[in-house]
Amino acid sequence: MSLTASSVGQPRVVKQLTSLLTPKALEQEFDFIAGNANSGMIYGWVLRDEAERLSGREVPYVYVREEQKKGGQQERITGNSNNPSINQGDRVLIVESEDDPDIFLTKVNSSVEALREAGYQPNQVATILQPSSEVVRRLQELGLMLSYSVKPDDLKDIIASGGIRRTLQTQQIPYELGNPMEIAPRIIEAGALEIRDIDGGEKPFLYSSGNWGPGYLMIKGLVGQPHLMKYLCAQVALRVPKDRVDFVVGNVTGGLIPGWEIRNNLEMQKGEEVPFVYVEGSRVSEGRMIGEEDNHLVRKGDKSLVVEELVNFLQTTTNSVLLSRHRGYDAKLAATILHYKNPIALKQLGEHGLELFYVVSLPDIIDAAERSPMFKPRAVADYRRFLENPLKWQADRGYEPVREGGTR
């Protein structure tokens, strides 16, 4: 595993590396930041925060997957849809932290292709380690400028020192505890919910499960509106008992940025560094915990908090909890922005001895949609009927579930 990938578990190291990188990246103008999934997402997000602080302007953020998923959301770019701060022709700073030059170039090439195809203009790449002259040449051929944080020996020294040394003090989260009835409309107004009028002739969504349905809720896309995402994550942290959490586990990909932000808020409340790791792989047998290896901040028996952006059937959350327990950690807590309150998930919580903290439920969102002028009342009512019995809803309209879904 690369040094930069594993160092994500030490927040002070991440912050020092990005503080060195951001002024260099700001030497060339860009309109928004694209973090490469998975290794560039946290570095890109922290760089975004620092760039916004230094420049005094709002900096939007998206993340880019290397390939389209066979199931799940088909778009490779997350955060640009329904985003008033991102426009066609915008210049993009790509952030990638991969050390291996071949993997680095492959991922950057892939992101350049996806961003240009979507109508954006990637004009530079920011990374942590100084790349070879050959990598620089290849980037120039793509029309990309390069900025980097440190040379390899300097990276080892920073990791060994534990990053920026600063005294942490207990602080209050700069938000009041919000009411779900007030928060749900903000999520809807941000464009996270789409409900199609099937009776009016619109086509239903095909979900990753292979089912068809009239509504789709895209919480992960709110990374493109950082100030709203930060507010929602602060709301999660306000509901989590800070003394029961030693480190945070973010699930790839939707849980990475919320997990990091919740970590920031817990650190503020506790007045001490809160480590962060993320889990790749949707099954326990193939799961990998990135940031745990050689991390003196994470110890066996520590209490973990598993984070996703939304919880439907709870399967991936459960898998990360089981992986955490297998790795020797005390994993009893999970957190999310949106809880579907699916009966299967509620049953799983009890079976696995899990406590789930959340900000809003799907019923809260549907109630807000009924009050919103953005949706036709019959479309919202139809979505309610679907949620009550998805299979009956499909059968009544002549739709059959397919083996290989993909939200579109």
Per-residue pLDDT 10s for the chain (408 aa) are 677 888 999 999 999 999 999 999 999 999 999 999 999 999 999 999 999 999 999 999 999 998 755 444 457 999 999 999 999 999 999 999 999 999 999 999 999 999 999 999 999 999 999 999 999 999 999 999 999 999 999 998 998 898 877 778 889 999 999 999 999 999 999 999 999 999 999 999 998 778 899 999 999 999 999 999 999 999 999 999 999 999 999 999 999 999 999 999 999 999 999 999 999 986 666 789 999 988 999 999 999 999 999 998 899 999 999 999 999 999 999 999 999 998 889 999 999 999 999 999 999 999 999 999 999 999 999 999 999 999 999 999 999 988 765 555
For the four alpha carbons of 14, 15, 20 and 23, in that order, the dihedral sign comes to: positive
Residues in the chain: 408
Q: Which CATH class is domain 180-366?
A: alpha beta
Whether the Cβ atoms of residue 20 and residue 150 lie closer than 8 Å to each other: yes
Task: At 297, give phi and psi (nearest 5°).
Answer: -80, -20
Looking at the domain 3-161, which fold is it? Rossmann fold (3.40.50)
Tell me the domain boundaries of the chain: 3-161, 180-366
Can you list the positions of beta strands (E) in 48-162? Answer: 61-64, 77-78, 91-95, 121-129, 145-150
Domains 3-161 and 180-366 share a fold: yes
